[in-house]
Amino acid sequence: MLRGDLPTPLYHQIFLVLRDRIVAGELPHGAQLPTEHELAEAFEVSRITAKRALDELAAEGLVARRRGRGTHVIHRSQIKPQPAPLVGLIENLEILAEHTDVRLLGFERRVPPAAIRELFDSGPDAGLAHTIRVRSRDGIPFGHYESWTRTEHPAFDAASLATTSRIRLFERCGIRLAQVEQVLSAAPADAAIASALEIPEGTALLTLERRSFDPEGALVDWLLIHYHPERFQYRMTLSPDDAALAPGHA
């Protein structure tokens, strides 16, 4: 999870990971964080590095550290899901797909990493469709897309993913979407993403995590997109009575 070849110190990388989880509400108010020793083992760093990460969280007013009681979250997340029409989102995604080019970097069906298995609540031997693509406009790449999809439909294959939008493939394969959750954040480009987007490694990128659920509430698709901020804008138009999400590129 950490990158030793980036200019960002390891302790600050750990701080960013924990901060994002706290602000997003994944670590709610009152939650106890791992100890310095546990963090050091989890991130494979020294205990001093783990301590600096926790101290930085405390300095930002996100956690309280008390001797003998550990580190607890004191931040109260104010993030509230903003409802938006799913139809409008799907229409905008189709428009984006029609006006950009996609290049398939990889496709395979395999057992995902433990973190993805946990999201899908799938067994240790259950395979998912793993896809990596890059979207470009006028020959300039602006987005790196990695997804895991719960489907065994034969039409969901490399040939189709290289020529068809995933939204249309979902329809073709009978994958019904009833709810979509999205989280915007930021992250530095690793070596693979930097190469795909033709940018220096470590460049700050806009990230969008999208989780799509079927009518039964089961996760059917997980997507993580890294956008070049100078080549893509993610716009949201909101009103008191309605909300529409409109992704766009610059």
96-148 residue pLDDT tens: 556 778 899 999 999 999 889 888 988 888 899 999 999 888 888 988 999 99
CATH number at residue 31: 1.10.10.10
The two tokens of residue 135 are 């979207």
90 and 67 fall within a common domain: no
Residue 156, in any domain of the structure = yes
- Is residue 158 assigned to a domain? yes
Say if residue 131 is in the same domain as residue 153: yes
**Domain ends where: 49, 73, 97?**
73
- pTM exceeding 0.85: no
Distant-in-sequence, close-in-space partners of 36: CB < 8 Å, separation ≥ 6: 47, 50, 51, 54
pLDDT of amino acid 244: 42
Are 147 and 224 within one domain? yes
79 found inside a domain: no
What pLDDT, on a 0 to 100 scale, did the predictor assign at position 76? Answer: 78
Number of Cβ atoms within 10 Å of the Cβ of 234: 16
Q: What percentage of the chain carries pLDDT values higher than 90?
A: 39
CATH code of residue 189: 3.40.1410.10
Whether residue 72 is predicted with pLDDT greater than 90 in this model: the reply is: yes
pLDDT digits (tens, 9 = 90+) for 55-67: 999 998 999 999 8
List the domain range (segments joined by +) for residue 199.
86-249
- Count of domains in the chain? 2
Same domain for 56 and 143?
no
Give the span between the Cα atoms of 183 and 174, in whole angstroms.
25
Q: What is the band of 75 on the pLDDT scale with cuts at 50, 70, 90?
A: confident
> Which of 42, 73, 104 is at the close of a domain?
73
